Amino acid sequence: MENLGNLHGVSHSQAGDLMSSRQSSHSHRNLVSHAHGRSAMVSSMASILDSTGDYRTDPSGLSGHLHPAMSMCESGMSLSNTYTTLTPLQHLPPISTVSDKFHHPHPHSHHHAAAHQRLSAGNVSGSFTLMRDDHRGLASMGNLYGHYPKDMSGMGHGSLSPLSNGLGSLHNSQQTLSAYGPGAHLSNDAKMLSPVTGFESHATMLSRSEEHLARSLGGHGHGMISNLNGMHHPHSHLHSQANGAAMLAERERHGAGSGQTGGSGGQAEEINTKEVAQRITAELKRYSIPQAIFAQRILCRSQGTLSDLLRNPKPWSKLKSGRETFRRMWKWLQEPEFQRMSALRLAEFMTRDGCPQCRNVPLKPYKSDVCGFIMLF
């Protein structure tokens, strides 16, 4: 089924290692180790992450249209305001049934499907709302953003644009919208890949993102796309270059082809899992974000799982449903710092107050699962 092995940019040798030794593959430990500007970051992060409650009082009703990142929260959970308070985790939605080519028709998928449809619908209707809220919220949150260290921009996305114009937030929101949750890859897969070091054009990236948005908007995308095309803003370029590194532009490099993953309409995206793992590791260190927090709030996974993934990332081609987890990591990396942090913050908020959507969604418990769905607003 998955004969994509060769597509992965992470050497095969490594792949071999990784695959053959889950236990012993501690070989690639060279992962990032630079945690510069940490103290400063810690404090700024703290200010952002601990300013709980800000969102609740937002008259715009943010509580109803939370940051997409919230989508990964479980309901009924209660978190304290501290970063380190954890709550039970939940599994991702039946990823394998909604992403990639793993569309296995299966008997139990009824309620899942229903739920997803529901979520999708919510996403559609919530898209603009989110953008609007985001746009509005940014103004008030701008001060927080200012707390970020200078080197943030150096990381690639410190785009302030969201604060300065609607387009910026529109773009970012759009990105965010598709960032997490099932609906995201349901439609996104087209090919978000690539770029990292900028071997993908700005235009390409943007069009992808826009396509994304368009799709999330429910098929009325063309108009949107063309509109957006005229509104590209400079920062997205930065963004792309900074984050794209984790993605493999195999298609671009090897030509469209290697079969399976691909063709048009298929899921062309490939994530360099090793790269993503390294970057996530670096970012977590950089901001002093505990694995447990990130794992829970952004990935809806346990600390142990994240740790394992970061240390022993399997090649994309070897992954099945596990791709979703990497997608989330990658998407998070794609977010501007501001949104990354708010994602964490909002995720916290969500876990504290419960997910309004989940309350009414039939649950498919898996151990400690409380909510087996990712919400899209």
Partner DNA sequence: TAGTAGTCAATAGT
Partner DNA sequence: ACTATTGACTACTA
Q: Which parts of this chain interact with DNA (CB under 7 A)? A: 1, 19, 22-23, 26, 83-84, 88-92, 94-97, 102, 104, 106, 108, 284-285, 290-292, 295, 300-305, 307-311, 314, 318-325, 364, 366-368
Q: What does residue 247 show for φ and ψ, rounded to 5 degrees?
A: -95, 150
**Cβ distance to DNA smaller for residue 24 or 57:** 24
**Cβ distance to DNA smaller for residue 147 or 311:** 311
Grouping H, G, I as helix, E, B as strand and the rest as coil, residue 292 is helix
Taking the complex as a whole, the smallest distance from the CB of residue 241 to DNA amounts, in Å, to: 27
Q: 112: which residues sit within 8 A by CB, 6+ positions away? A: 93, 94, 97, 98, 364
Taking the complex as a whole, the smallest distance from the CB of residue 320 to DNA amounts, in Å, to: 4
DSSP string, 113-177: HHHHHHHHHHHHHHHHHHHHHHHHHHHHHHHHHTTS-THHHHTT----HHHH-HHHHHHHHHHHH
**Cβ distance to DNA smaller for residue 161 or 273:** 273
**CA pseudo-torsion sign 92, 100, 198, 250:** positive
**Cβ distance to DNA smaller for residue 102 or 128:** 102
Q: What is the DSSP letter of 331?
A: H
Taking the complex as a whole, the smallest distance from the CB of residue 364 to DNA amounts, in Å, to: 7
Asked if residues 34 and 50 have their Cβ atoms less than 8 Å apart, the reply is no
Residue with tokens 């826009």: 210
**Cβ distance to DNA smaller for residue 205 or 300:** 300
Nearest to 338 by CA among 184, 138, 39, 43: 138
Taking the complex as a whole, the smallest distance from the CB of residue 311 to DNA amounts, in Å, to: 5
Nearest to 149 by CA among 44, 245, 54, 292: 44
Taking the complex as a whole, the smallest distance from the CB of residue 137 to DNA amounts, in Å, to: 27
Taking the complex as a whole, the smallest distance from the CB of residue 49 to DNA amounts, in Å, to: 11
**Cβ distance to DNA smaller for residue 60 or 303:** 303
Cα separation, 81 vs 75, in Å, equals: 16
Nearest to 377 by CA among 211, 76, 132: 132
Asked if residues 65 and 277 have their Cβ atoms less than 8 Å apart, the reply is no
Taking the complex as a whole, the smallest distance from the CB of residue 86 to DNA amounts, in Å, to: 9
**Cβ distance to DNA smaller for residue 7 or 138:** 7
Cα separation, 133 vs 280, in Å, equals: 27
**CA pseudo-torsion sign 192, 326, 283, 354:** positive
Asked if residues 119 and 373 have their Cβ atoms less than 8 Å apart, the reply is yes
**Cβ distance to DNA smaller for residue 108 or 222:** 108
Taking the complex as a whole, the smallest distance from the CB of residue 19 to DNA amounts, in Å, to: 7
Taking the complex as a whole, the smallest distance from the CB of residue 233 to DNA amounts, in Å, to: 34
